[in-house]
Every structure is written in C-alpha cells, then in structure tokens.
C-alpha cells in the first residue's frame, strides 16, 4: 500500500523511522521489499535507508509489474 507524510511533518524523521521499522521486520523474516519513488525527494529518502536506484519507471508505460524479488 501507499504511505505518505503530512507536509507539515516532513523533514522530522517520521518516514525514516517508519521505514526502518518495516525494513527490520523484512530482514528478520527474510521478506524482500521494493519501493517506487514518485518524487526525487522520496528517492533520496529511500537511498538513505539502504535502497539503491535500479531503473527509471515511466508512468505512461504499460505492463510493468515491478521488479523480481
């Protein structure tokens, strides 16, 4: 599902804390995870918590189901 941070709460570490908690559970249970960043700010956040940019997604394209995990 999608998550977001209220604009007034952005830049306070809330998204980083949420991602860290969810990613710890993924690590503990050996579950893969991927993210789709719709904005450059989101992409930078994801890189800070350990994700790496893999490919550029064109939202006008069709047939993309996401990366293999």
Q: Are 56 and 64 in contact (CB under 8 A)?
A: no
Q: CA-to-CA distance for 64 and 37, rounded, in angstroms?
A: 15
| Residue written as token pair 């993924």 | 26
State residue 7's pLDDT score: 87
| Residue written as token pair 């939202």 | 59
Higher pLDDT, 64 or 39: 39
| Residue written as token pair 């350990």 | 50
Which H/E stretch holds residue 42?
helix 40-48
Looking at residues 50-56, what average pLDDT do you find?
82
Map residue 38 onto helix, strand or coil. coil
Share of the chain above pLDDT 70, in %: 78
């Amino acid at each position: 599902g999608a998550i977001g941070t209220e604009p007034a709460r952005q830049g306070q570490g809330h998204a980083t804390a949420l991602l860290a908690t969810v990613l710890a559970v993924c690590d503990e249970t050996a579950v893969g995870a991927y993210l789709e960043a719709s904005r450059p700010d989101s992409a930078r956040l994801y890189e800070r918590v350990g994700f790496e940019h893999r490919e550029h997604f064109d939202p006008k394209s069709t047939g993309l189901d996401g990366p293999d995990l």
